[in-house]
Amino acid sequence: MTTATASPGGGPRWIGARGGVNAILVAVAGLAIYPYLVMLFGGFKSSAELTTNPGGPPSQPTLANFAALFTGPAGEVMWRSLFNSLVVTIPYTVLTVLLCAMAGYAFAKYRFRGRNLIFGFLIASMLVPIEVNIPALYLLFSNIGWLDTYQVQIFPGTASVLGMFMARQYMRGIPDEVLDAARVDGAGHWTTFFRIALPMSAPVLGAIAVLTFVYKWSDYLWPAVMVGDPHLEPIMVTLPALSTDASGFIVRYEILLAGALVVTLPLLLLFGRFQKSLISGTTVGAVRG
C-alpha cells in the first residue's frame, strides 16, 4: 500500500492529505496569533466598542487608552515601573552573560580538580526548585536588609546554570591552538578570555543575553514575593492593578489590553530580530533529553 509520505510524486491522495495538513497548520497558527490580534485591536478601542466588537479591528481607533496609561496618576506608576523593569533587567542580563561566559570558559578550557564533579552538582542544583527555596531566601534577604530593593531583583539568579551549560558547550569548540597562540604572544589569562574567547563566543553569548532578558522582563513570582514597596516594583507586578478604575474594583479591559501591548512590544521586537536563538534556546535541555 502506498502512503502519502511515501509517494511525493503526486496523485489525488497525496494532494488531499497535503491540503488537510496545511489547513490544520493554518488553523493552529491562526489560533496562536489571534490573542495577539485581540490585544492589538483592543488597545485602540473605546470601552463601548470593546463590548460590542471584542475581536475585530477597531472601527474608530483611539489613542485614549495609551493616554490614560501614560498620563496622570496611572502614568506616574507606569513610567516608574517601566523604568524599574529596565533598571533591573539590563544589569541582570549583563551580569548573567558575564558570569556564564566566565564559568563556561573555566569549565570548557581549564583542567582543575573536581571539574566534572562541580559541573555535575551545578546541573543537579537546577532540580532544586523555587517552591522549596522561597521561604528560606525570603528570610535570608530579610536578614541582610535586601527586601524591597533593586539588588534583590538584580543579583539572585544571575549564576544561571543553563546559561553556563550553553556557554561551556560552545566554548569547547574554540580550538586550543588559538588560545595557546595568544598566550605565546604574551597574553595573560584575562586578556585571552576578554580578547579571544569572549569575541569568539559572541553567538552563544548573544543567545544567552536574549533569553535572559526575555525571562527577567517577564518574571512575576520573584518580584511579587520579594518587593513590597510600590516604588520599586517592576511593570509585571504593577500592570494588573493599573487598569482598575478609581474605586479599585472595576477592571477597564481596554486599558488592560493597551498595557499588555506595551509590555509585549519589546519582547516581540526581540523575537523578530533574534527568532532563531530564542526558539533554539528553549530546546537546549531537550536535545540532551
Partner 1 sequence: MAFFALPSIYSVVLSFFRYNGYTTAHWVGLNNYRSLLDAPDFHAAVVNSAFYLFVPMLPMLVGAFLLALAVRSKLSNLSPVYKPLIFVPQVMAPVAAALVWRVMLSNNGVLNTTLGVHVAWLTDPVALRWGVVLLLLWRGLGWYFIVFLAGLSGVPEDLLEAASVDGANAGRRLWHVIVPLMRPTILFAVVIDTIASLQLFTEPNLLVGGAGTTAGAPPSAAPVMNQVVTNVIGGQFGLAAAAGWMLFVAIGCFSLIQFRIFREATQ
Site for partner 1 in 140-179 (CB under 8 A): 140, 142
Q: Which of 71, 151, 191, 283 binds partner 1 (CB under 8 A)?
A: 283
Could you say which of 10, 12, 199, 289 contacts partner 1 (CB under 8 A)? 289
Closest approach, Cβ 187 to partner 1, in A, equals: 31
Q: Is 264 in the site for partner 1 (CB under 8 A)?
A: yes
Tell me the window of 163-171, 186-194, 205-213, 264-272 that interacts with partner 1 (CB under 8 A).
264-272
Contacts of 238 (CB under 8 A, 6+ apart): 77, 78, 81, 230
Q: Evaluate whether 74 touches 68 at the Cβ level (below 8 Å).
A: yes
Burial 61-94 (b: 16+ CB within 10 A, else e): eeeebbebbbeeebeebbebbbebbeebbebbbe
In this structure, are residues 60 and 46 in contact, taking their beta carbons and an 8 Å threshold?
A: yes
Counting Cβ atoms within 10 Å, is residue 271 exposed (0-12), middle (13-18) or buried (19+)? middle
Structural contact between residues 89 and 216, judged by C-beta atoms closer than 8 angstroms? yes
Residue 98 binds to partner 1 (criterion: CB under 8 A):
no
246 sits near partner 1 (criterion: CB under 8 A): no
Which CB sits closer to partner 1, 63 or 269?
269
Rounded (5°) CA angle 129-155-287: 50
Are 158 and 95 contacting, i.e. CB atoms less than 8 angstroms apart? yes
Determine the interface stretch with partner 1 among 57-65, 93-101, 183-191, 256-264 (rule: CB under 8 A): 256-264
Question: Cell for 133?
Answer: 527555596
Site for partner 1 in 10-69 (CB under 8 A): 17-18, 21-22, 24-25, 28-29, 31-33, 35-36, 38-39, 42, 50-52, 54-55
Of 155, 169, 163, residue with least CA distance to 210:
163
* Contact pattern from residue 103 through residue 142 relative to partner 1, giving x for each residue in contact according to CB under 8 A and a dash for the rest: ---------------x--xx--x--xxxxxxxxxxxxx-x
Q: ∠ CA(231), CA(234), CA(236), 5° rounding?
A: 135
Q: Which of residues 69-88 bind partner 1 (CB under 8 A)?
A: none
Q: Where in 188-227 is the site for partner 1 (CB under 8 A)?
A: 214, 217-218, 220-221, 224-225
The binder of partner 1 chosen from 11, 172, 268, 273 (CB under 8 A): 268
Query: How many residues sit in the footprint of partner 1 (CB under 8 A)?
Result: 84
Q: Please, which of residues 220-239 interact with partner 1 by CB under 8 A?
A: 220-221, 224-225, 236-237, 239
Whether 214 and 278 have beta carbons less than 8 Å apart is answered as yes
